[in-house]
Amino acid sequence: MHKLFIVFIGLAVLLPGCSSTTDVSVGIPVTFSARIASQAGFGKNAVAPDSISLSRVRVVMSGSCLHPIRPI
């Protein structure tokens, strides 16, 4: 039982560092942001023939930082 308790505590310490929440108490916050490169669509003149304008863009994404090289 004692060993199980230690394992549980160990997981409780390690897991927050793997999370994607905004809990910054165990690490350094890294903000992931996004933007579109230009006004969405093309043919900005809405009456131009054969053109497209976009009104909403939604994307599912996840991110990660690669390869911790060495601790600071």
Partner 1 sequence: MSSSDSSDLRSAPSVIDLGTSTDLRDIFVSSLPPGNYSGVRIKVHRIENSDLAGMSSPEMAVFADFLAGDRYSVIVEGTVYEGGTVRPFVYRSRIDEVQERQFAEPMVVSASGPVTVTMLLGTDSWFRSSTGALLDPADPANEGPVDDNIKSSIDVFEDNDRNGFDD
Quick note: the x/- pattern for partner 1 over 8-47, rule CB under 8 A, is: --------xxxxxxxxxxxxxxxxxxxxxxxxxxxx--xx
67 lies in the binding site for partner 1 (CB under 8 A): yes
In angstroms, give the least distance from the CB of 2 to partner 1: 27
CB 12 within 8 A of CB 25: no
Written in H, E and C, the secondary structure of 39-50 is CCEECCCCCCCC
2 lies in the binding site for partner 1 (CB under 8 A): no
* Max CA distance (Å), the chain: 74
Q: Where along the sequence are the contacts to partner 1 (CB under 8 A)?
A: 16-43, 46-72
